Structure 1
Amino acid sequence: MYHTETINNHTFRLRYLPGGIFEMGSDETRKSLGNESPIHKVELSSFYIGEYLVTQALWKAVMGADHNPSRFIGDNRPVEQVSWIDIVEGNQDNDGQPAFLHKLNEWTQTSRPEGYAYRLPTEAEWEYAARGSEPYEYAGSDQLKEVGWFSENSHSETKAVGLKRPNGFQLFDMSGNVEEWCVDKYSDTFYQECYERSTVKNPNCQKEDARYRLARGGSWGDYLRFCRVSFRDYRPPTDRDGILSFRLVLASA
């Protein structure tokens, strides 16, 4: 089941995921950077998630045709060089642009399901979607070249979305191409706290003393280990980079 929107003649689609319980994280210390453990059970409510990354075409449809911050230009490539602030809170310096999500939710007031709103995925929603109910190391395969663009095949640039094979949920580019911002703040202790709670429902780390935001999935410039479904990167919310983009979630507000 999908939800489809059209804004300024640009159409995009989100896949419905029924939610459920899954095991989040990894204990493969040889491959991880030590912040993916312990494995813990997570229960998620249902949500919709973009089958593709937010493209430059969608970004321009929402923000205006003259506002494209990307380094690698192409309507079907993911928008990049967008910070967490640009997406969620709005840019109060330089051009004073409002937040992408604020404008998107304004555009779709009458077309969204009642009580639903667009936002970034939580880290748990992102990993659940990337795993696709499959036991793979990457999103849709144990062979990253089948499903993702990374340092060995990207030619040091982003690629148009949807060129590689999707995962089990029919979602594209969840390993490689660009990293994807999540709602959560990063905390070294959050996974352990979740583990101690047995099964945690809809986790979303928002600790006041946490300075960084999560980014998941790896990018065109990364090695294999950084594109695994359990890999966790974290960055200042003001970071703008040619490897940073995002994917939309539509969920109950």
Structure 2
Amino acid sequence: MIDFHCHLDLYPNPSEMADEVQRRKVGVLSVTTTPSAWAGTSRLARDRTVIRTALGLHPQLAGERIHELKAFDRYVADTRFIGEVGLDGAPECRSFWSQQTRVFEHILHACSEAGDKVVSVHSRRAATPVLDLLDRFERVRMPILHWFSGSRTELRRAVERDCWFSVGPAMLAGAKGRALVAAMPRERVLLETDGPFAQLRRAALQPWDVAIACQSLSEVWGTDASETGRIISGNESTLLAGCDRRDD
């Protein structure tokens, strides 16, 4: 199984965590929050075959780090994976909304030009504006909405836009999250932890805790563990095969 959204570089001992996920053979998409973190974070994947690094600029940092778009442009050709990027509509982030939109639009344009990127997208309290921007960049073919928490109407729109969804133990611990996941197409659901930020029972989630999410999905879907694992494995293969195909 693959953890499609994990802040590997922000654990207390990133190298030890990287060694452990390699030992356990748990796939990790290691997302970054700033382009300046790219070089150090990507080194965690060196000689560790289960880790892939995503280049990101987190919307909560867009106001103070918009100047790092130049670094983003410098590194974007080095990876197929982009994240964490997106928009955040929480009250504490509204004061720099214009910078958020400029950053996200710039990143989507770069991904559209490349035509081969898998993008992990933050959309807290901002699902509609996120989808509005995604609609403008149709060549961004495989956006993954990380920890989606929008309305049912926004979920239907995301499905129509061919979005994927990464869900984790923390999201599946609540009734709203489980209801949203139940309404998602099973063939577009992936796993994540959002560790170390996301917690379960006051403990930071670790990449191998995607197994907890898989068990919760079995409960939501009414499937046994082997069937749930088969679905998730098939989804992972479909997504990764798709990102290997370049547009003409």
Q: If the length of structure 1 is used for normalisation, what is the TM-score?
A: 0.25
User: Which structure's residues are more often strand, by fraction?
Assistant: 1
Larger RCO, structures 1/2 (Cα 8 Å, 6+ apart):
1
User: Which structure's residues are more often helix, by fraction?
Assistant: 2
